[in-house]
C-alpha cells in the first residue's frame, strides 16, 4: 500500500527507508541554554519508532549570542553530548537523523536577552536595530561551519541549512529585506554571497558522503521587491554547484500576513505549495521535498506518484499521531489520528511562551510527555461511565480502554462528535467533521456506546459503576433584547447547520471564532454580512495564523466587521447599537458564546454514592477543543 511513499531513496551515502520526513518544527523542549533534554529525545524517538524515515531536529542555533532560550542549539562544544544521545535514540528506533542549522534574525525577539542580527537597518518598535557588520557576517559564517562539524561528531546523517522565512540567510537573499550597499547587497549576485558562503563553510565541514539539504521558500509572498520563483530557481541552480543535494521547498515569512504559509492552518488548501516545488524540481533537476498541509498518506502518495516531488514533509501529521507512518504502511488508515490544521497546540502553543512550556497537539496530549506518562494496563480495572460523546468524552473513553478499564460511553444524541461536528459545518472545515467521524469509529470499536441515551441522576443511582467522567458539553448562550419580536433571529449553530437560511442583509452578533465562521457561511450563501463585536478586537479567540487566514477571507468576501459595537435593541429596520447607530438588517444571528450544560445533579448523585467523578471539557468550562481533549486524556490517565 502506498508503494511510492514507502519506496526507499538514497541521497549520497544516506539511504532512507521511505519518503516521510519529520521537519524541523520548533518545540521549545530544549533546556534554557539550548541543550537537548530527555523530553526532546523521547519526542523524536517516538516518531522514529513510528516509522518516520528522517527526523530533522529543529531550528538549531549556530551562534550563541543570538540564540533564544529554549531553542535547540549546537553553537558550543559542550552541547555535542546531548545531540549524540538524540541521534542514538533516533537510530535505535529505526530512523535517520538530520539537524537544521539556523540563525533566526528577528526571531530572537522571543528572548529579550538574545542578540538580534538583521541584514539592513530596521525599525523595531521604538528602536532602530543596526545592520549586521562585515565582521559579524564573518563570525556567523564561521559559526555555521563549526556547528556543522559538531553535528557530524554528534552522529547526524544529514544537515539542513535554513534559508527561508526571512531568517538571516533568507534576508540576505531577498531584495525585499536586503538594502545593503556593500558586496553583500544590491545585485542578485551580491545578495547570494552570504548564503553561498555559508553553504561552502558547512560543506567544508561535512564528509563527502553526507547529504546537505536547504530549506528555501518557493517565493516571497506579500513582500515588495521579494523573491520570485524564477529568482529562487536561479539561486538553487547555483547552490547545487556549491554542494547542495536536496531542496526543502517551503513558503512564508515572519513579518507579513504570509506567515500563515509557514504553519498553514485549516483555511489553507492541502498541498498548496506542491506545484511550486514541482516546478523548482523540474527546472533545477534536484531532489525536492514537498511541504504544506500534507496530512494524509493518500495525498502524499498522490504527490510522489505524480513525480512532483521526491519526499514529503509530514510534520503536524506526526504530531497528531507518532505512529502515522507505521499505520499507513500497514494499511491501518482507520486507526490514524489525523491533523486537522487547527494550530492550537503546535504553532499557538509554541508562541504562547507565558502559558505553555512547550508545544502540544489538540489531537495528541502526549506530546512532550512521551517518557513521563504511563498508559500501560492498570492493575485495578474499574467500571467507568463516560457521559457525553463529544471529543472530550471520546478521548477519555479511548484512554480508559487503553488502560484496561471497562468503559461505557453515553451520548444523548444519535451521533458522536459534539461541537467538532458543528465546527466542521463551516466552509473549508470539512476536516473537522471527518476527524469527529474518525474518532467516533475508533471509539465504537473499543467500548460500549449508548446513543440517544441521556444519563440522569436516577440512572446513576441504580448503576453498577466505579467511576464517572462527565463530558456533557455546552449549549449556545441566549440573550434577551428589546424588540426581538420585530426582527428575524437565529443562533449560530442553526445557521452553520443550515437549519435556518437567512437572506439579504444579516448581522452576526459576536465576533469570536464561531461568529466569524457563521459570517463566512452566510457570505458564502450570498448574504450581505456585518459582524458586531462588543470588544475592541475581532477574532480575539483565534490563534494568530488562523486569524490572518480567516480575516483575509472575510475581507475578500466584503464582510463588514464592527468592533466596539454593543447591541442595544432590535427594530423592524435592524439592530440599534448602544451609541444609537442603526445597523440595517433583516436577520440577526447570535454567536455570543456557549455556556456549560448543568451537571450538578449528576455530580451530587456521585457524591452521595461516593463514586469518583470528574467534570471535563465544555461541561467544566466552554473553551477550545485543545483544552477539552487534554482534560479527557488527563482524567482517563490519572483514574
Checking if the pLDDT of 141 tops 90, the result is yes
Lookup: cell for 194: 552570504
Looking at residue 352, what is its pLDDT?
Answer: 85
pLDDT digits (tens, 9 = 90+) for 256-279: 999 999 999 999 999 999 999 999
Looking at residue 126, what is its pLDDT?
Answer: 84
CB 169 within 8 A of CB 103: yes
CB 353 within 8 A of CB 359: no
Looking at residue 468, the DSSP 8-state letter turns out to be E
Lookup: cell for 125: 518598535
pLDDT digits (tens, 9 = 90+) for 397-421: 999 999 999 999 999 999 999 999 9
| Alpha helix positions (H), 488-539 | 492-496, 513-524
- Which residue from 375, 386, 388, 384 is spatially nearest to 406, judged by alpha carbons? 384
Which residue has 539550548 as its cell numbers? 34
pLDDT digits (tens, 9 = 90+) for 189-231: 999 999 999 999 999 999 999 999 999 999 999 999 999 999 9
Domains identified in the chain and CATH numbers:
20-351 (3.20.20.70), 383-476+595-637 (3.40.50.720), 484-592 (3.50.50.60)
Altogether, the residues listed in the chain come to a count of 639
Whether residue 43 lies in the annotated active site: no
- Side-chain half-sphere of 413: how many Cα atoms within 13 Å? 11
φ, ψ for residue 584 (rounded to 5)?
Answer: -65, 135
Cα 375 from chain centroid? 25
pLDDT digits (tens, 9 = 90+) for 575-625: 999 999 999 999 999 999 999 999 999 999 999 999 999 999 999 999 999
Looking at residue 1, what is its pLDDT?
Answer: 86
Confidence category of residue 139, pLDDT binned at 50, 70, 90: very high
Averaged over 126-149, what is the pLDDT? 97
Looking at residue 125, what is its pLDDT?
Answer: 81
φ, ψ for residue 158 (rounded to 5)?
Answer: -155, 165
Question: In the predicted model, what is the mean pLDDT of the chain?
Answer: 97
Looking at residue 124, what is its pLDDT?
Answer: 81
Pairing of strands 582-584, 574-577: antiparallel
Q: 562 has which bridge partners?
A: 532
What is the C-alpha to C-alpha distance for residues 442 and 335, in angstroms, rounded to an integer? 7
Which residue has 454580512 as its cell numbers? 529
Lookup: cell for 356: 505553555
Instruction: Print the SS3 string covering 404-443.
Output: CCEEEEECCCCCCCCHHHHHCCCCCCHHHHHHHHHHHHHH
Task: Please give the C-alpha separations between residue 437 and each of 94, 265, 299, 337, 444, in angstroms, as whole numbers.
Answer: 32, 20, 19, 11, 10
What is the C-alpha to C-alpha distance for residues 126 and 463, in angstroms, rounded to an integer? 65
Checking if the pLDDT of 454 tops 90, the result is yes
Highest mean pLDDT among 123-132, 138-147, 367-376: 138-147
| Alpha helix positions (H), 78-133 | 80-92
* Cα-Cα-Cα-Cα dihedral sign, residues 449, 452, 457, 462: negative
Cα 26 from chain centroid? 11
pLDDT > 90 in the chain, percent: 97
Looking at residue 464, what is its pLDDT?
Answer: 95
pLDDT digits (tens, 9 = 90+) for 541-554: 999 999 999 999 99
pLDDT digits (tens, 9 = 90+) for 565-574: 999 999 999 9
Alpha-carbon dihedral 162, 167, 171, 176, rounded to 10 degrees: 120
Does the pTM of the predicted model rise above 0.85?
A: yes
Q: Active site residue: 167, 184, 261, 347, which one?
A: 167
Confidence category of residue 47, pLDDT binned at 50, 70, 90: very high
φ, ψ for residue 35 (rounded to 5)?
Answer: -70, 150
Amino acid at each position: 500500500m502506498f508503494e511510492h511513499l514507502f519506496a526507499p531513496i538514497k541521497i549520497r551515502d544516506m539511504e532512507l527507508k521511505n519518503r516521510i520526513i519529520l521537519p524541523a518544527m520548533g518545540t521549545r523542549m530544549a533546556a534554557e541554554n539550548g541543550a537537548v533534554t530527555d523530553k526532546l529525545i523521547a519526542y523524536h524517538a517516538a516518531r522514529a519508532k513510528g516509522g518516520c524515515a528522517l527526523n530533522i531536529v529543529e531550528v538549531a542555533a549556530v551562534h550563541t549570542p543570538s540564540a533564544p532560550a529554549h531553542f535547540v542549539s549546537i553553537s558550543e562544544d559542550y552541547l555535542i553530548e546531548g545531540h549524540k544521545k538524540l541521534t542514538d535514540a533516533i537510530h535505535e528506533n529505526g530512523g535517520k537523523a538530520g539537524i537544521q542549522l539556523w540563525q533566526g534574525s528577528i526571531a530572537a525577539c522571543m528572548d529579550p536577552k538574545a542578540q538580534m542580527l538583521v541584514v539592513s537597518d530596521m525599525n523595531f518598535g521604538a528602536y532602530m536595530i543596526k545592520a549586521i557588520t562585515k565582521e559579524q557576517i564573518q563570525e556567523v559564517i564561521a559559526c555555521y561551519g563549526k556547528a556543522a562539524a559538531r553535528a557530524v561528531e554528534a552522529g547526524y546523517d544529514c544537515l539542513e541549512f535554513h534559508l527561508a522565512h526571512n531568517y538571516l540567510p533568507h534576508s540576505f537573499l531577498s531584495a525585499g529585506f536586503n538594502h545593503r550597499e556593500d558586496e553583500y547587497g544590491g545585485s542578485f549576485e551580491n545578495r547570494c554571497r552570504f548564503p553561498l558562503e555559508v553553504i561552502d563553510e558547512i560543506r567544508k565541514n561535512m564528509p563527502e558522503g553526507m547529504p546537505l539539504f536547504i530549506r528555501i521558500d518557493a517565493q516571497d509572498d506579500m513582500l515588495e521587491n521579494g523573491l520570485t520563483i524564477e529568482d529562487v530557481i536561479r539561486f538553487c541552480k547555483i547552490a547545487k554547484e556549491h554542494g547542495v543535494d536536496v531542496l526543502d521547498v517551503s513558503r512564508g515569512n515572519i513579518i507579513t500576513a504570509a506567515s500563515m504559509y509557514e504553519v498553514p492552518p485549516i483555511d489553507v488548501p492541502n498541498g498548496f505549495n506542491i506545484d511550486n516545488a514541482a516546478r523548482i524540481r523540474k527546472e533545477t533537476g534536484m531532489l525536492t521535498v514537498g511541504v504544506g498541509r500534507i496530512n494524509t498518506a493518500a495525498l502524499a502518495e498522490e504527490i510522489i506518484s505524480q513525480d512532483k516531488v521526491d519526499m514529503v514533509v509530514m510534520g503536524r501529521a506526526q504530531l497528531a499521531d507518532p505512529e502515522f507512518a507505521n499505520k499507513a504502511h500497514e494499511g491501518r488508515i482507520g486507526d490514524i489520528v489525523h491533523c486537522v490544521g487547527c494550530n492550537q497546540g503546535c504553532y499557538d502553543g509554541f508562541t504562547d511562551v507565558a502559558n505553555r512550556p512547550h508545544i502540544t497537539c489538540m489531537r495528541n496530549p502526549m506530546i512532550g510527555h512521551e517518557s513521563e506518562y504511563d498508559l500501560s494496563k492498570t492493575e485495578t480495572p474499574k467500571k467507568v461511565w463516560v457521559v457525553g460523546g463529544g471529543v472530550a468524552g471520546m478521548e477519555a473513553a479511548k484512554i480508559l480502554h487503553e488502560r484496561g478499564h471497562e468503559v461505557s460511553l453515553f451520548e444523548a444524541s444519535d451521533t458522536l462528535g459534539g461541537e467538532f461536528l458543528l465546527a466542521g459545518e463551516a466552509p473549508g472545515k470539512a476536516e473537522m467533521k471527518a476527524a469527529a467521524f474518525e474518532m467516533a469509529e475508533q471509539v465504537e470499536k473499543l467500548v460500549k456506546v449508548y446513543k440517544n441515551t441521556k444519563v440522569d441522576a436516577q440512572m446513576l443511582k441504580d448503576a453498577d459503576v466505579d467511576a464517572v467522567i462527565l463530558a456533557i458539553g455546552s449549549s449556545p448562550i441566549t440573550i434577551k433584547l428589546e424588540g426581538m419580536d420585530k426582527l428575524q433571529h437565529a443562533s449560530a449553530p442553526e445557521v452553520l447547520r443550515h437549519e435556518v437560511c437567512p437572506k439579504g442583509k444579516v448581522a452576526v452578533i459576536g465576533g469570536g471564532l464561531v461568529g466569524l465562521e457563521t459570517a463566512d457561511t452566510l457570505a458564502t450563501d450570498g448574504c450581505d454580512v456585518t459582524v458586531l463585536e462588543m470588544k475592541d478586537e475581532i477574532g480575539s479567540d483565534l490563534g494568530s495564523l488562523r486569524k490572518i487566514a480567516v480575516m483575509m477571507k472575510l475581507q475578500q468576501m466584503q464582510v463588514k466587521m464592527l468592533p466596539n459595537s454593543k447591541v442595544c435593541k432590535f427594530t423592524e429596520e435592524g439592530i440599534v447599537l448602544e451609541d444609537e447607530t442603526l445597523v440595517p438588517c433583516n436577520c440577526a444571528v447570535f454567536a455570543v458564546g456557549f455556556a456549560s450544560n448543568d451537571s450538578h445533579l449528576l455530580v451530587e448523585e456521585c457524591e452521595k454514592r461516593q463514586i469518583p467523578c470528574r467534570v471535563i471539557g465544555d461541561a467544566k468550562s466552554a473553551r477550545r477543543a485543545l483544552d477539552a481533549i487534554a482534560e479527557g486524556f488527563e482524567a482517563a490517565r490519572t483514574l
